[in-house]
Amino acid sequence: MKKTFFLFLCLAFAGSSSAQRVDQQVMGESPREVYQIDKGWKFYRGHLDQPKPKGHHWVYKSVKAGAGRGPAAFQYDDGGWRTVDLPHDYVVEGTFTQNPELVSHGFLDRPEGWYRRKFRLPAEARGKTIWLYFDGVFGQSQVWVNGQELRKSDNGYIGFRVDISDVAHYGDRPNVISVKCDPGEAQGWWYEGGGIYRHVWLTIADPVHVAPYGVYISADKKKGGKWQASIETAIENESESDARVKVVNTILDKKGKPVAVTTRDVDAKSGETTKIQQFLAIPENRVEPWDLNSPNLYGIRTELFVDGKKVDSHGDHFGFRTLEFNPQKGFFLNGKPVKFKGVCMHQDHAGVGVALPDAIHSFRITRLKQFGVNAYRCSHNPPAPEILDACDRQGMLVLNENRFFNSGEDYLRQLDEQVRRDRNHPSVMMWSTFNEEDWQGDERGVKLVKRMKRIIDAGDHFARRPVTGAMSAGFSKDGAFAPLDVLGINYSLGVHDHVHKNLYPNKLIYSSESVSHSASRGEWQDKKHVYNNYDNHWVGWGDSLRKTWKFVDTREWDAGTFVWTGFDYRGEPTPVNAWPVISSYFGIVDTCGFAKDSFYLMQALWTDKPMAHVFPHWNLGKDMIGKKVKVGTYTNGDEAELFLNGKTLGKKPVDKYMQLYWDDVEYQPGELKMVAYKKGRKHAEAKVVTTGEPVALGLEVKFDNWQRKSARTGVSDALPVTVFAVDSKGRRVPTASNKVSFAVKGGKVLGVGNGDPLCHEPDIATERSLYNGLASAIVAPGDEEGVLEITASSPGLKPYSLKLSIRKGNGFIQYPTIDGSIVLTDWRISEITDKPQNPNRPIADGDMNTWQPIAVGSGPQPQWDQKQGWATYRALFDMPNGNNWELVLEGVKGNAQVFVNGQEVAKKDNPASGTVKAPVKAPAGSKVTVSVQMKSSEAKAGLTGTAKLVQKK
């Protein structure tokens, strides 16, 4: 009996799938505090030493808690570093270099990089559970907080949590995050960037709280139409005692009104994570399903109560829908057949590398939908959370792919993180475990898939989405196909029928990767490293867009295809794979999102809205007059008529799949027009005209029917601004190549691009040459409401200014930065004596007993509670660069004398709490010793406030 793989589910995290990203409206009032911590990071590009300790004392110290060295140290001087905001890709800032070692990554160097960020936590946060969440850091990364190394990650595509509860400082004493990233070792064979290229989050929660990724919701549609929602809630209890917790889960409609509520009491043991399951029956008439054209989203609010008090509230989005994978009939969404009109996608974009603002992620999904895409393959790694958010909101199915085909302990943990992070998205329909692996055809591949599948099924245990893989060879019953639920085949169209009929007739088959055709936007003639747009260039293992779609569309059982690729991407410059090519040619649109002619071919193949497209442009030059030109006409009509300067060149039938080309059109300047017909009636039309020379520039934030007329603050907004040149009649000049400069008021240019795989102009700049008439600037608004004004200028052309309003966005709160002072933390205190001490006496090497390490900046030292009298404080630091440094000791309670390198520099004769300031002069990089002799006859004394170095202006 032939099996149909059925899958019913509902999903969440439309606001974002990160554990830190909660929908604030759905969450409602909550004790939980969630902040974005993207602003004000200090950054250094390049290698920095973490000096090895010399001498027994320093070796002894180096292996203690909080002993980070060099840039990882708490009081490291980062004053000379530049300030950046996240997301940030520093590799894209580099210079293109003809180095064959860099070919796969776009000929850009990938050095190490360091980030540091200072922040304070309020005293009220003491006793809370506090964690950071990094959505993505590329590549090998290490994280220190207050000098303590807390996390290492070797996967640049999946986020990670850093619990800082045990090492956090409170009150005036700051906290310092240090992050080292080394992108030099490849994790993929495409441009991967480098740095903290996704968001960072700070969460402050009650010790009893919903765990990260702790709310999992799925819905089965039962016979008779009723939905059953299954909800699993994971509760972390990090308090000192067991707790009786009331868990309330409420499903909300898009207006915020309750649809259903379930409550359950549970005993949460101290130090453990407790999971509970709740089930809700929802009438069919209360549900609007999530669909490609109607992506309806619902909210799930999870509230925790202890002793009648709300201790946590968490809010996410989800959607109801059903999936069916039928081996004979194909894929069904909500009971209706859907053929995958998919594309494979890498994550970089012109001007910003892999550090895409949220709005650009959303724009890219919009752009794909404009040429008919309904399915997105995350090639070949877990996507940014914002990609899944955009797919949820806009109605796009997702093939969610793993990066490493590896069953090692660390890799399985990363896979589990990915599944738990993304399992609630309604857009995610399948999990992919591998792509074109050498072991895919033997028993090793079988074992790996089985092990990984167990992790996926455990994490997605309600929904049980099918597990798939992208096979490129080894098509047999002995390979990785055997344990997969759904079979993905890369290219190799000729084996689809064999696999379906002879190997696995009971498993659904689809084309997981196809085509790989090459085209340079706007080009109609082949040149060196330049490819025309007639859909006639593809790799040896690929095929044309038209033939590929005809193959899968004419087989009912074949679920569809994922074209390689939707956008051009940096690196992997196939088919050239050599200098000077810095990006691929495979995209339906270029790296900026500008349409190639294949964009309209896909509209003809994949969309129903009447359309017509004729190409090439009609500025072919005087040398072409009277010569034959190949003209392409694309339409979803059934006939096309071509007109040159008003004279018909004939009407011809249009093949539904192969479309229509005219090989013998004689070029004459003027107007070339195409009229498409369907069933004998006019369907659509398009034209190209011969223009004059460029005389002026134009700007717009518009791609077909998508347009932005305003920008928003606080929501990671950015605008893909298009610049173009026009002639004296206002017509766009498709061959213009002028260099354009951008000036912005009320915001800033993040980067620029033009989609030319041969262009070596820098992306992080405020100028760019037009490529075949177009260039792009990614412009971000400022933090204040007002007007965003963008001006484009070029020598000899009339400039153009575009104004847009900046409105307040409803985004997450940015956690505040603090001043650039250097806080001194490595203090020790002597024994308290009845008589004055020699404040400059040496400390014996390795003496950790007579002189005790202490915390300065968190209130009085406890030694004063035991005895009063005289004591000496001692600190050692490296003198920072620059001049006019001042030592500032806040909250000095007691009489005090301050010495720097043995010289008295300040004195305080008042026992009351106060601030002491003193100049510090020493060569940069030299060791500086601060000694403070203090006298107090009271308890609760000492250095109670922050000790820091401040550079006076």
Q: How far apart are the first and last CA of the chain?
A: 82
Q: Mean pLDDT score of the chain, rounded to an integer?
A: 94
Please say whether the beta carbons of 434 and 449 come within 8 A.
yes
Please say whether the beta carbons of 400 and 432 come within 8 A.
yes
State residue 54's pLDDT score: 85
The alpha carbon of 832 is separated from its chain's Cα centroid by a whole number of angstroms, namely: 54
Please say whether the beta carbons of 291 and 392 come within 8 A.
no
Site of tokens 């390689």: 564
Please say whether the beta carbons of 43 and 83 come within 8 A.
yes
- The sheet with strand 258-268 has its strands ordered as 258-268, 243-252, 298-306, 309-318
pTM: 0.94
In degrees and rounded to multiples of 5, residue 528 shows phi and psi of: -65, 120
Closest CA to 38 of 821, 812, 764, 822: 812
Among 420-434, 537-551, 752-766, 853-867, name the one with the lowest average pLDDT.
Answer: 853-867
* SS3 state at 445: helix
State residue 24's pLDDT score: 63
**Spatial CB neighbours of 75, under 8 Å, sequence gap ≥ 6:** 822, 823, 824, 825, 826, 877
CA–CA distance, 620 with 631 (Å, rounded to integer): 12
**Spatial CB neighbours of 214, under 8 Å, sequence gap ≥ 6:** 19, 233, 234, 235, 236, 302, 314
Q: 602-629 pLDDT, tens per residue? A: 999 999 999 999 999 999 999 999 999 9
Give 19's pLDDT tier (boundaries 50, 70, 90): very low
Give 947's pLDDT tier (boundaries 50, 70, 90): very high
Please say whether the beta carbons of 29 and 305 come within 8 A.
no
Rg (CA), the chain: 32
Whether pLDDT at 363 is above 70: yes
Q: Residue 731: how many CB atoms within 10 A of its CB?
A: 14
CA–CA distance, 52 with 56 (Å, rounded to integer): 12
**Residue 740 half-sphere exposure toward CB, CA atoms < 13 A:** 35
CA–CA distance, 757 with 98 (Å, rounded to integer): 14
DSSP state of 398: E
Q: Residue 704: how many CB atoms within 10 A of its CB?
A: 12
Q: Which helix (H) or strand (E) holds 745?
A: strand 739-745
Closest CA to 371 of 128, 158, 148, 596: 596
Tell me the pairing of strands 397-401 and 428-435.
parallel
Please say whether the beta carbons of 544 and 489 come within 8 A.
no
The alpha carbon of 167 is separated from its chain's Cα centroid by a whole number of angstroms, namely: 28
Please say whether the beta carbons of 578 and 572 come within 8 A.
no
Give 25's pLDDT tier (boundaries 50, 70, 90): low
Q: 909-918 pLDDT, tens per residue? A: 999 999 999 9
Whether pLDDT at 666 is above 70: yes
Handedness of CA 408, 410, 414, 417 (dihedral sign): positive
Among 515-529, 535-549, 714-728, 818-832, name the one with the lowest average pLDDT.
Answer: 818-832
Whether pLDDT at 485 is above 90: yes
% of the chain exceeding 90 in pLDDT = 86
Tell me the pairing of strands 82-84 and 41-45.
antiparallel
Which parts of 795-925 are beta strand (E)?
797-808, 822-823, 827-829, 852-854, 869-878, 885-893, 895-900, 903-908, 914-920
Residue 565: cis peptide before it, omega within 30 degrees of 0: yes
In degrees and rounded to multiples of 5, residue 677 shows phi and psi of: -125, 155
CA–CA distance, 684 with 671 (Å, rounded to integer): 17
State residue 277's pLDDT score: 97
CA–CA distance, 500 with 155 (Å, rounded to integer): 35
Give 923's pLDDT tier (boundaries 50, 70, 90): very high
Q: 321-354 pLDDT, tens per residue? A: 999 999 999 999 999 999 999 999 999 999 999 9
Mean pLDDT in residue range 544-557: 98
State residue 386's pLDDT score: 96
CA–CA distance, 147 with 168 (Å, rounded to integer): 11
In degrees and rounded to multiples of 5, residue 351 shows phi and psi of: 90, -30
* SS3 state at 615: strand
Alpha helices in 81-238 (DSSP H): none
Mean pLDDT in residue range 181-192: 96
CA–CA distance, 391 with 424 (Å, rounded to integer): 13
Closest CA to 109 of 51, 194, 30: 194
DSSP state of 494: G
- Comparison of pLDDT for 17 and 26, the residue scoring more: 26
Q: 493-525 pLDDT, tens per residue? A: 999 999 999 999 999 999 999 999 999 999 999
Please say whether the beta carbons of 415 and 447 come within 8 A.
no
Q: Mapped to the 3 state alphabet, what secondary structure does 497-558 carry?
A: HHHHHHHCCCCCEEEEEEECECCCCCCCCCECCECCCCCCCECCCCCCHHHHHHHHHCCCCE
Please say whether the beta carbons of 805 and 787 come within 8 A.
yes
Token duo for residue 726: 């026009």
Residue 174: cis peptide before it, omega within 30 degrees of 0: no
**Spatial CB neighbours of 494, under 8 Å, sequence gap ≥ 6:** none
In degrees and rounded to multiples of 5, residue 133 shows phi and psi of: -135, 125
Whether pLDDT at 545 is above 60: yes
From residue 445, alpha-carbon distances to 442, 454, 482, 609 in Å are: 6, 14, 10, 44
Give 23's pLDDT tier (boundaries 50, 70, 90): low
CA–CA distance, 868 with 864 (Å, rounded to integer): 6
Whether pLDDT at 32 is above 50: yes
CA–CA distance, 445 with 536 (Å, rounded to integer): 35
Closest CA to 898 of 885, 912, 910, 888: 888
Whether pLDDT at 855 is above 90: no
Site of tokens 């090998």: 140
**Spatial CB neighbours of 458, under 8 Å, sequence gap ≥ 6:** 416
**Spatial CB neighbours of 619, under 8 Å, sequence gap ≥ 6:** 690, 691, 733, 734, 735
Whether pLDDT at 2 is above 70: no
State residue 12's pLDDT score: 29
Closest CA to 555 of 500, 514, 593, 633: 500
Which parts of 809-881 are beta strand (E)?
822-823, 827-829, 852-854, 869-878
Among 337-351, 580-594, 793-807, 840-854, name the one with the lowest average pLDDT.
Answer: 840-854
Site of tokens 């106060």: 914
